[in-house]
């Protein structure tokens, strides 16, 4: 009989299962956005937190949470691109949302927004601000950092 530990799926498969909890449209946006982020940051460590409020997928140069500079936050009603130190990014046109002392975000209506020059400018600025540089070559990987036992519904309440 296999031990309980041997039944744990790979981090990648876990993330696929986490995303599958969401409505089809949100899940599709999350998968496409994640794919674009992995292509944009091929050496990044993907830090995954299936939290109470949202599924957060952070991107940083190491497994250390404080080194992450970007994340995708998947909510029942949509996906946000978070800039963990967004308050320090130049934003003369007021594109970034949020009032917190550190973070800012952009609501993604499509994964194609990640290719928009304005969004790319913010992504580039966040990467340049990283305390530890991203590796210039190699391949990133995924680490599931935490899974909350209690979570808000992952389906939009409009389905009821």
Q: How confident is the chain (160 residues) per 10-residue block, as mean pLDDT?
A: 58 90 95 97 95 91 95 96 95 93 96 96 94 94 80 60
Q: Side-chain half-sphere of 114: how many Cα atoms within 13 Å? A: 23
Supply the pLDDT for residue 12.
85
At residue 148, the pLDDT reads: 65
So where are the chain's domains? 10-146
Q: Are 146 and 49 in contact (CB under 8 A)?
A: yes
DSSP string, 60-85: ESSS-GGG--EEEEEETTEEEEEETT
C-alpha–C-alpha distance, residues 7 and 50, integer Å: 19
Q: What is the pLDDT of residue 53?
A: 85
At residue 157, the pLDDT reads 61
pTM: 0.86
Beta bridge partners of 144: 48
Q: Which of 32, 33, 21 is nearest to 155 (CA)?
A: 21
For residues 10 and 44, what is the distance between their CA atoms, to the nearest angstrom?
Answer: 18
pLDDT at residue 158, rounded to an integer: 52
Distance of CA 23 to the CA centre of its chain: 17
Structure letter (DSSP) for residue 3:
-
CA distance 121 to 135: 20
Which pLDDT belongs to residue 150?
A: 73
Q: Name the pairing type of β-strands 141-147 and 45-50.
A: parallel
55 DSSP β-pair partners: 50, 74
Specify the DSSP element, H or E, that contains 108.
Answer: strand 104-108
């Amino acid at each position: 009989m296999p031990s309980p530990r041997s039944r744990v799926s790979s981090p990648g498969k876990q993330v696929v299962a986490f995303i599958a909890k969401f409505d089809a449209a949100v899940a599709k946006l999350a998968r496409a956005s994640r794919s674009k982020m992995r292509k944009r940051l091929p050496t990044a460590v993907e830090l995954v937190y299936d939290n109470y409020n949202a599924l957060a997928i952070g991107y940083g140069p190491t497994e250390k949470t404080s080194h992450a500079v970007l994340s995708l936050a998947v909510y029942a009603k949509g996906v946000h691109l978070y800039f963990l130190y967004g308050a320090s990014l130049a934003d003369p046109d007021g594109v970034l949302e949020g009032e917190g002392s550190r973070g800012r975000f952009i609501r993604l209506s499509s994964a194609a927004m990640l290719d928009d020059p304005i969004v790319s400018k913010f992504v580039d600025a966040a990467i340049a601000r990283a305390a530890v540089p991203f590796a210039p070559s190699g391949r990133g990987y995924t680490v599931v950092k935490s899974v909350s036992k209690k979570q808000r519904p992952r389906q939009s309440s409009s389905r009821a």
